[in-house]
Structure 1
Amino acid sequence: MRLARLVPSRPAPPPRPAPGDVLAEAEDVRVRLGTRTVLDGVGITVRAGEVLALVGPNGAGKSTLLGALAADLPVSGGVVRVHGRPAEQWSAPELALRRSVLPQSASLSFPFRVEEVVRMGRAPWAGTDLEDEDDAAVAEAMARTEVTAFAARPFSALSGGERARVALARVLAQRTALLLLDEPTAALDLRHQELVLRLCRERARAGDAVVVVLHDLGLAAAYADRAAVLCAGRVAADGPPAEVFSGRLLSEVYDQPVEVFPHPRTGAVLVTPRRDM
């Protein structure tokens, strides 16, 4: 008698969210790293159809909060929910169909070609009904991030900015409804910073939720629907940039005099350090 080979079942792809659906949230979250409390009682909500920028000075807890929302970092208190369920209740394959994560730096030990790196984003969909979309998803992601021209080059041979765009292409190819991006513009020139934030806006308009850690307050003001200003492990303000980006608040949070004023042509919020010279 021949025994049937057991094939692990693949998790079912989640349905597309409706506008305004909560795709991730932190409730009274605390995170300790070693002896240091990095997040202390943080609450944040991430909704489909919006770009949420996490801003604040170095050490404020931005990347830690992103890691907690991704369920990549355990919390010592409170709860993180992803797609309405406590994060720890999702398996790794289930999470990979629901959220994609761009870390601060991308490094690989093997000489993968650029296209192979981007294709790694499709791994969660293997064995599902959407596996047939792999080629189209990879091609579209590379085109949108402008890396198609060096698809055959080794990832290790790229510049820092090129690697950052390839890493973003991998996230886009994954096609999840929740994108968590940690400083995606840090290594990029002016043109590609704008490109990346336009892609974030496009994904939000298409119904995704995008959380992006940014140091550039001007980019946050221009592209984010909401901004959460973190300071010393807490949320100092949360709301539309035009409402929460005040000179007084930012000067206090960054311990640096800051001026906030409207753009003379568009009226959009502009943020700049105050320089008395």
Structure 2
Amino acid sequence: MNPVRRLFAVRDRELPSPVPAGSPVAEADGLSVRLGRRQVLDSVGLAARAGEVLALVGPNGAGKSTLLAALAGDLPAAGGEVRIGGRPAAAWSAPELALRRAVLPQSAVLSFPFPVEDVVRMGRAPWAGTARGDEDDAAVATAMAATEVTDFAARPFSALSGGERARVALARVLAQRTPLLLLDEPTAALDLRHQELVLRICRERAAAGDAVVVVLHDLGLASAHADRAAVLHGGRIAVAGPPAEVFTGALLGEVYRQPVEVFPHPRTGVPLIVPVRGS
């Protein structure tokens, strides 16, 4: 058996239960996180809900990636608690946690030249030995089609461009088929078309009942695609809510230390955010 699959081949795992729309899938309650001597998050409260896309935005160093990792149960809390599926994250075993959340890191690095299809299939490892293990082929094929990587299924992952690697890494996360998707800057290496593709996938997963948390630097993408946005500033959440309500010129100008103008798109009404520039 593949060593990765052997790690998860435990038959007494508790499988995830369906989560009603609008109910929390993951929650941070008074969460504080320290990295070394630095406090990165301070008393953060936030919920990722089934059927929603939640965008984490804010300037560099605000704590977005740290919050995402903490919501995944990958970082210990110095204070407060993270709950996944209604249970403290630390109470789940690693195999059980892998059935409940899938994580896309900022960069995808592999030491060996695995074919693209094998990389995507790695997302199915948590389901080995469960009643849903027979979904592997369909899950892999569907994820590759959604991210438009089917045509280079046999190519080595190491031979791909940065944008292609990013889409393959997303396909692996989608193939995992968990009720919580945690995506760290999934559009950073992508061109305009594929940025829109990735955010459409996020919306589709939310429409299917998943909770999607995505770290974004592009406020326009967050505004257009997120149901809610949490604006992080100095390790705290400055404000959270629908982008049309929380993306104001005054708030964003203060948080980013850059004056901005916010005005509605003439056709959709979605807020557009533009830096104030000299004439």
TM-score over 0.5 for the pair: yes
Matches within 5 A, 1:187-202: 187-202=189-204
**TM-score, length-normalised on structure 2?**
0.96
1:155-184, Cα deviation, whole Å (9 max, x unpaired):
000000000000000000000000000000
Aligned position for 1:3: none
Aligned position for 1:144: 146
Instruction: State whether residues 24 and 45 of structure 1, in contact with CA within 8 Å, keep that contact through their aligned partners in structure 2.
Output: yes
Aligned position for 2:6: none
- Residue 69 of structure 1 and its aligned partner are, at CA, apart by 0.1
- Residue 16 of structure 1 and its aligned partner are, at CA, apart by 1.7
**TM-score, length-normalised on structure 1?**
0.97
Distance 1:97-1:8 versus aligned 2 partners, 3 A rule: closer
1:73-102, Cα deviation, whole Å (9 max, x unpaired):
111110000010011000000000000000
Instruction: State whether residues 10 and 129 of structure 2, in contact with CA within 8 Å, keep that contact through their aligned partners in structure 1.
Output: no
Instruction: State whether residues 29 and 45 of structure 2, in contact with CA within 8 Å, keep that contact through their aligned partners in structure 1.
Output: yes
- Residue 276 of structure 1 and its aligned partner are, at CA, apart by 2.3
AA partner of residue 50 (structure 1): E
SS at match of 1:31: strand
Aligned position for 2:171: 169
Which one of 128, 131, 134 corresponds to residue 132 of structure 1? 134
CA RMSD of aligned residues (A): 0.9
Gaps of 5+ in 2: 1-8
Cα distance in structure 2, aligned partners of 1:129 and 1:95: 17
1:174-219, Cα deviation, whole Å (9 max, x unpaired):
0000000000000000000000000000000000000000000000
Cα distance in structure 2, aligned partners of 1:118 and 1:10: 25
- Residue 265 of structure 1 and its aligned partner are, at CA, apart by 1.8
Q: Which moved more, 1:267-276 or 1:132-141?
A: 267-276
Aligned position for 2:103: 101
Structure 1 segments of 4+ aligned residues over 4 angstroms from their partners: none
Gaps of 5+ in 1: 1-6
SS at match of 1:187: coil
Cα distance in structure 1, aligned partners of 2:80 and 2:131: 36
- Residue 8 of structure 1 and its aligned partner are, at CA, apart by 4.4
Instruction: State whether residues 12 and 128 of structure 1, in contact with CA within 8 Å, keep that contact through their aligned partners in structure 2.
Output: no
- Residue 259 of structure 1 and its aligned partner are, at CA, apart by 0.7
AA partner of residue 93 (structure 1): P
Cα distance in structure 2, aligned partners of 1:16 and 1:199: 20
SS at match of 1:230: strand
Which one of 52, 55, 60 corresponds to residue 53 of structure 1? 55
Instruction: State whether residues 10 and 127 of structure 1, in contact with CA within 8 Å, keep that contact through their aligned partners in structure 2.
Output: no
- Are 1:271 and 2:273 matched, yes or no? yes
SS at match of 1:259: strand
Cα distance in structure 1, aligned partners of 2:87 and 2:35: 24
- Residue 12 of structure 1 and its aligned partner are, at CA, apart by 3.0
Matches within 5 A, 1:241-256: 241-256=243-258
- How many positions carry a matched residue from both structures? 271
